[in-house]
């Protein structure tokens, strides 16, 4: 039943916020804990573009849209599971099997203008960025200052991971999410299935 539910979510993602109110409890295996965690509804899903980012990047990139966590009933101190749905391609002729997306928490919804030049994966455009908190620890490379990776690697079979448990920091209200790349203008997600899922984790 749970498997069918997630397939339904993936097949019916839209450009707007989708709220699932199906009553169920599921077990999710995440790389940063190496053990099952129990999540409970509601689960929120937001589509993201394969070209979107919150870092300075090429002029073909798109701005990440801030996700207002309080509108989802999520507040500082809450523990949440973030996970990726769908895949994208780093080029307009490649196979859509890339699954790396990153994120940062912020105290405000302000995203400064893009300077049009990639100069590293930093939070220079997010003046309200704050350090995330990982109650179960975080593997090297997954946490990079105020930026952390929700998923990495092309797929689980090839050694990547998908899903990270994080505590919403003090004063954080917004979440910026983006694809991870150094050139965004040729990224492709032809079926529009790339999305981030947000679930509250039971204590």
- What percent of the chain stands above pLDDT 70? 76
Whole-number pLDDT of residue 52? 98
pTM for the model stands at 0.79
Query: For position 94, what pLDDT does the model report?
Result: 83
Query: Cis before residue 4, ω within 30 degrees of 0?
Result: no
Cα separation, 167 vs 76, whole angstroms: 7
Q: Per-residue pLDDT tens for 130-140?
A: 999 999 888 77
> What is the sign of the dihedral through the CA atoms of 82, 83, 85 and 88?
positive
DSSP conformation class of 114? P
Asked whether 139 and 32 are in contact (CB, 8 A), the reply is yes
Cis amide leading into 179 (omega within 30): no
The per-residue pLDDT for 5 is: 38
The model's pLDDT over 14-51, given as tens digits with 9 standing for 90+, comes to: 333 333 332 223 333 344 333 334 444 448 999 999 99
Q: How many CB atoms lie within 10 A of CB 189?
A: 20
| Mean pLDDT value of segment 171-176 | 98
């Amino acid at each position: 039943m749970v498997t069918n539910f997630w397939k339904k979510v993936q097949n019916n993602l839209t450009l707007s916020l989708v709220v699932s109110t199906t009553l169920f409890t599921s077990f999710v295996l995440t790389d940063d804990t190496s053990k099952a965690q129990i999540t409970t509804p509601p689960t929120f899903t937001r589509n993201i573009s394969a070209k979107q980012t919150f870092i300075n990047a090429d002029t073909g990139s798109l701005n990440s849209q801030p996700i207002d966590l309080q509108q989802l009933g999520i507040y500082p101190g809450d523990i949440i599971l973030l996970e990726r749905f769908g895949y994208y391609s780093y080029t307009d002729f490649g196979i859509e099997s890339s699954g790396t997306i990153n994120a940062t928490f912020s105290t405000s919804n302000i995203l400064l203008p893009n300077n049009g030049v990639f100069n590293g994966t930093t939070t220079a455009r997010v003046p309200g960025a704050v350090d995330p908190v990982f109650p179960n620890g975080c593997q090297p490379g997954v946490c990079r200052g105020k930026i952390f990776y929700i998923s990495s690697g092309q797929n689980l079979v090839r050694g990547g991971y998908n899903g990270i448990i994080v505590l919403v920091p003090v004063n954080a209200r917004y979440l910026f999410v983006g694809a991870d790349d150094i050139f965004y203008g040729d990224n492709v997600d032809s079926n529009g299935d790339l999305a981030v899922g947000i679930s509250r984790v039971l204590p």
